[in-house]
Structure 1
Amino acid sequence: MKRLINQSPNRVWRIGLALLPFALLLMLYISASEARLAENSYDKLLPSFQQMGDAMYRLAFEPSKRTGEYLFWQDTGSSLQRLGIGMLIAASLGMAFGLMTGALPLVGATFSPLLTVISLVPPMALLPILFIVFGLGELSKVALIAIGVTPFIARDIQKRALEIPREQLVKAQTLGANSGQIIVRVLIPQLMPRLIDAVRLSLGTAWLFLIAAEAIASTDGLGYRVFLVRRYLSMDVILPYVAWITLLAFVIDYALVKISRFAFPWHAQQEGK
């Protein structure tokens, strides 16, 4: 008798099993929504898919009477722009700090304790300070993402740099490479795919900081819209927006995976992907 621990589904079964929980949750939601709406047609807690579709159609395809803009696409564009700029800054700073502290022992001994302390500071606690220093504009929101994510990326890159076999550095020095050449030709090529992995792992945190900043002080954005309509109990808007944020996060993560596999195929093979 084949033991359960040794059984592995084939590709078709794997896809089916992966979709099963989503199908069950969907059926559960539809049943609960129909039951609540049958009891009270004005119920807002569990709107039907028709109600959510109508709400999203108004936001996505009908211009706002106040501004004339398509709010759904404006919110999406604003949030993605803030997220993209913040993550780009965080990835650049994290790579620089992580590389220097991991590759150069003198720099690591000097700044590693500071980096550890900074990583322990809750970024959300800094949000009022950022609003005071940078104002309520775009800069404070981007700064929150960058400040919140940079320490994580930096510490991860530092750890990865320290894990690179010492033999590679010795061989490069034997061939006459100086410190700068070792960093550029030995360390950075091996750390770039790790940087993409670190960005992927920190995306969820970045979305959290973005939505929090937009909810507190913004005039557009996905987080702003969700917290704006909550006062009206507009679940027909909140639920699609949450689903859209989740889809965007998935697409960004998937795109980073494809970029990593295309640019660094050796890393995918090394990780067994």
Structure 2
Amino acid sequence: MARLINRQPDRLGRWLLALLPFVIVLVLYLLNSEARLAVNPNDKLLPSFPAIFDSIAKMAFEPSRRTGEYLLWADTLSSLRLLLMGVGISALLGLSVGLLNGGIPLIRIPFSPLVTTVSLIPPMAILPILFIVFGLGDLAKVMLIVIGICPILIRDLQLKTLSLPEEQLIKAQTLGATSWQILLRMMLPQVLPRLFEAVRLTLGSAWLFLIAAEAIAATQGLGYRIFLVRRYLDMSVILPYVVWITLLAFAMDWLLKVTARKAFPWYFGRNGEAQG
């Protein structure tokens, strides 16, 4: 008799099991929404699906009377621009500093404690400082993302560099490789795949910092729109925006995973198959 721990569903079974929690959530929402609306047709906490679809249509396909923009797409482009800037800068700094910290002891000894200390500071606690120093514009929001996730990336990539087999380092030096050749030609190719994984793990935090910053000081963006309609308790806009942010984050995570599989098949196993 096969043990439960060894049973694996087929391809169709995987899809059905993956969709099951979402179907359950939708059914529960529908039942609770109908129950609340039956008691109070003006209830705003759990709007009906038609009300949600109407709000999506207005935000996505009808221009704003005030600005003439299609609000959903304008908010999405604004948020994605800031998010990609923050994540991109963080990835570049994380890879550079993490590689140097992990590969060169004279750099790791003074800078590693500093990076560890910065990584333990709650980023939201210094948001007012960022607004004071960088103003209320986009720079402060980008810096919040960088301060929030860059130290984590640095520490992760530093640990990955330090975990490389010492035999490789000895062989490279025996063959006459310089320090920079070891860093760029031996360590960097082996650390790059981990960068993709680390960025995937910090995407949720990056979105959190962006939404929080937009909620406090912004004139457009997904976070700004959510907190703007919050005062009217307009859940027919808030819920679709939350779902849309989740879909965007999922798409970015999927793109990073596919890119990593294609670029580094040797790292993820046979045929480039990654776990998760």
Normalised to the residue count of structure 1, the TM-score between the two structures is 0.98
Q: Which residue of structure 2 lines up, in the alignment, with residue 225 of structure 1?
A: 225
The code of the aligned residue for 1:12 comes to: L
The code of the aligned residue for 2:7 comes to: Q
Structure 2: which 5+ residue stretches go unaligned? none
The code of the aligned residue for 1:142 comes to: V
Q: Which residue of structure 1 lines up, in the alignment, with residue 138 of structure 2?
A: 138
The code of the aligned residue for 1:245 comes to: I
Is residue 265–residue 273 contact of structure 2 (8 Å, CA) maintained in 1?
A: no
- Matches of 1:223 and 1:127, distance apart in 2: 15
Q: Percent identity?
A: 61
Is residue 157–residue 195 contact of structure 2 (8 Å, CA) maintained in 1?
A: yes
The aligned runs of 1:108-187 (5 Å cut-off) are 108-187=108-187
The code of the aligned residue for 1:208 comes to: L
The code of the aligned residue for 1:27 comes to: V
Q: Which residue of structure 1 lines up, in the alignment, with residue 19 of structure 2?
A: 19
- Matches of 1:210 and 1:6, distance apart in 2: 41
- Matches of 1:6 and 1:161, distance apart in 2: 34
Is structure 2 residue 54 aligned with structure 1 residue 51?
A: no
- Matches of 2:188 and 2:151, distance apart in 1: 18
Structure 1: which 5+ residue stretches go unaligned? none
- Matches of 1:4 and 1:121, distance apart in 2: 43
Q: Could you say what secondary structure the match of 2:146 adopts?
A: helix
Shift of 1:26: 0.8
Distance of aligned partners of 1:186 and 1:73 in 2 relative to their CA distance in 1, 3 Å threshold: same
User: CA deviation digits over 1:125-183, x for unaligned, max 9?
Assistant: 11000000010000000000011111000000000000000111111111111000111
- Matches of 2:91 and 2:23, distance apart in 1: 36
The code of the aligned residue for 1:76 comes to: T
- Matches of 1:60 and 1:3, distance apart in 2: 50
The code of the aligned residue for 2:139 comes to: L
- Matches of 1:245 and 1:149, distance apart in 2: 19
The code of the aligned residue for 1:57 comes to: A
Is structure 2 residue 198 aligned with structure 1 residue 198?
A: yes
Count residues in correspondence: 273
Shift of 1:188: 0.6
- Matches of 2:7 and 2:196, distance apart in 1: 33
Is structure 2 residue 228 aligned with structure 1 residue 212?
A: no
Shift of 1:203: 0.4
Q: Which residue of structure 2 lines up, in the alignment, with residue 238 of structure 1?
A: 238
